[in-house]
Structure 1
Amino acid sequence: MKRILLPTDFSENAYNAISYALHFFKDEKCHFTLLNTLYNSDYIIYSSLNTLYEENSLKKLERLRKRILKEFNNDNHEFELVSTFNMLYQEIEERVKNKEIDLVIMGTNGASGGEELLFGTHTVHAIQIAKCPLLAIPSNYRYKELENILFTTKYEIDFAEYQMSFIKNLADKKNAKIHVMHANFGIRLNEKQLQSKKDLDNFFAETPHDFNSVYKDSVPEAIEEFNKENKIDLLIMIKHRRSFIEKILFSSIINEIGFNAKFPFLVLPSESYDPEN
């Protein structure tokens, strides 16, 4: 049974991400945790009212659960309600450490105005720190069956069995095609990169896939260019931390894509992640 964490601020955009998750996993047995984090400025100032905050949060979570059961009557799915004073990243870290989640699915924006920026920031931060797969759903993006998965890579890391199996199994279950894309900045692939590309080709041998080199000045621009010809249903990237410079560069890409995503964005953890150990 998959264990999926669904953070919510009770906005319609958060519900849109939940709706996507329920559609996506409609045929699989899943344990969904509906999570509302209460850590904010009001809690810091009025901490004496924490019981009231928590009770109100749990009431809203119960209303959310009833709405879900009314709209998605699926025996494959069960729901747990959690209200916590942890910050979102703390809750994710703790649950990953305790092997309580396999995937986080959340929206990229909040309700409107300042809330939209705040929740967007939370999502990008969660992507940056999460040590488990995280799927971000853009505001107002409606679920559609996967046809085209874009996997962007520089071919500069040693791909882990877990990462490749995650992508391959996802594509196979949804009968989707994997488009492997390299943003080419005018530099030819070295021997290690060519070997990584060959390894990917072998691993995806029985899954529809192709390789693409897009000449643009940045990864987000290359993704946008690719999307013009091949409508992307899901973007996948691997978060790796080989060096401080790469960490900074990857963070800037995450920020740009996370705040401006037009399609679901799945970030897989580094090669050190092992959900079974």
Structure 2
Amino acid sequence: MLSILMPTDFSENSMNAIKYALEFFKYQKTDFYFMHAYRNEFYDDEQLVSREVFDTVLESVKKQSKSNMDELLQKVEAIATNTRFNYHGISAFNTLVEEANQISDEHNIDLIVMGTKGKSDDRSIVFGSQTFQVLKYVQCPVLAIPTNYTNTQPKRILFPTNYLIPYKRRELKLLSVLAKSYRSTIDVLYVSKSKGLSMRQEDNQSFIKDTLEGNTLNFIQERNKSVSETIKAHLKDNSVDLLTMVNTQHSFLEDMLFPSTIDKVSLGLDIPLLAMQNTRRY
């Protein structure tokens, strides 16, 4: 059984990600944990003008969060009456990152699914601030769904790698399960300046082959100085439906996202991103 955490701000973008997940995982036995962390909303509340009204405003924000969560669960149960699914709602006076990490540990979460943007829906950026924080700080794989994206049957998945990372079996198994559900082809892309692989790279490639056994795999090597441009070209030329990247130090995803500010992310993704956080989880 999969355990999936879905942070929500009750926006349309968030609801689109929820509908995507309900359809995408319809063949899997799944525990869905819908979570709203309202600490920041509380401190930004215009009624919080003094310490004297602290408890009153907190209770009001808490009740609104609980009400919104109950309404969301009703919508979800109406959308997907799937006997394979179990639904749980969590409203918490906490930050998004802290609550997501806590729930991931307590419930052994396999995957976090959320929209690339929330209420702001700023078209000039790829990832909203909340999604960016989760990608950067939460120690769990993340599937980020673009606004209005509806294709829940990925036929081709792109997995760029430099073969230098000692992958976690659990995260690769997650990718294997997702791909097998739709008989997806996985393109394992290595962008390099040289032809051969080191012994470490050969061992990591063998680990990928063994762990993704049973999936359709294409091992591709491209000689190019620009990793990001090669990835973009492959996405464009091969009708890729899902991009998966490992998020760790010195990885392609870190190079693309984290040295830049949010509004300078240049990848321009219009397909879902599966970020494997490469962390030890049990």
1:85-108 Cα offsets, whole Å, 9 max, x none, are 211110111122324422110001
- Equivalent residue, structure 2, for 1:207: 215
Distance 2:212 2:101 in 1: 31
Contact persistence 1:109–1:116 (CA under 8 A): no
1:98-247 to 2 correspondences below 5 Å: 98-112=106-120, 120-184=128-192, 186-191=193-198, 192-241=200-249, 246=250
The structure with the greater share of residues assigned to helix is 1
Q: Structure 1 residues 166 and 258 mapped into 2: Cα distance closer, same or farther (>3 Å)? A: farther
Contact 2:157 2:241 in 1 (8 A): yes
Deviation track 1:1-35 (CA, whole Å, cap 9, x = no partner) reads 32211111111110010011100111222221111
State the shift of 1:193 in Å: 2.0
Cα distance in 1 for partners of 2:167, 2:137 equals 20
The letter of the residue matching 2:13 is N
- Decide whether aligned partners of structure 1 residues 37 and 145 sit closer, same or farther in structure 2, where only a CA change above 3 A counts: same
Instruction: Work out the CA distance in 1 between the residues paired with 2:157 and 2:280.
Output: 22
Residue of structure 1 in register with 2:94 after alignment: 86
- Return the TM-score normalized by structure 1: 0.85
CA distance change for structure 1 residues 112 and 153 in 2, over 3 Å: closer, same or farther? Answer: same
Cα separation, 2, equivalents of 1:117 and 1:59: 31
Matched, 1:30 2:37: no
> How far does residue 117 in structure 1 lie from its aligned partner after superposition?
6.3
How far off its partner does 1:72 sit?
2.0
Distance 1:36 1:156 in 2: 37
Note closer, same or farther for the CA distance 1:107–1:176 as it changes in structure 2 (3 Å cut).
same
TM-score by length of 2: 0.84
Which runs of no fewer than 5 residues in structure 2 stay unpaired? 49-53, 259-263
1:234-255 CA distances to partner (integer Å, 9 max, x unpaired)?
11112233xxxx27x7434235
Looking at structure 1, the residues matched to 41 and 74 of structure 2 have their Cα atoms a distance apart, in angstroms, of 29
2:12 alignment counterpart = 12
Q: Distance in 2 between matches of 1:77 and 1:116?
A: 36
CA drift at 1:137: 0.6
Residue 259 (structure 1) shift? 7.5
CA distance in 2, matches of 1:160, 1:96: 17
- One-letter amino acid of the structure 1 residue matched with residue 256 of structure 2: I
SS for the counterpart of 2:117 is coil
8 Å CA contact 1:234–1:264 kept in 2: the answer is: yes
Within 5 Å, give how 1:259-274 maps onto structure 2.
260-270=268-278, 272-274=279-281
Q: 1:65 aligns with which of 62, 65, 73?
A: 73
Alignment correspondent of 1:253: 256
Following TM superposition, the consecutive aligned residue runs of length 4 or more in structure 1 with deviations greater than 4 angstroms are 113-119, 255-259
Percent identity between the two aligned chains: 28
User: CA offset at residue 166 of structure 1?
Assistant: 2.3
For 2:226 and 2:105, how far apart are their aligned partners in 1?
34
Distance apart, 1:274 and its partner CA: 2.8
Answer yes or no: is the 8 Å Cα contact 2:246–2:253 preserved in 1.
no
Kept in 2: contact 1:149–1:176 (CA 8 A): yes
List gaps (5 residues or longer) in structure 1: none
Distance change in 2, residues 1:141/1:79 (3 Å): same
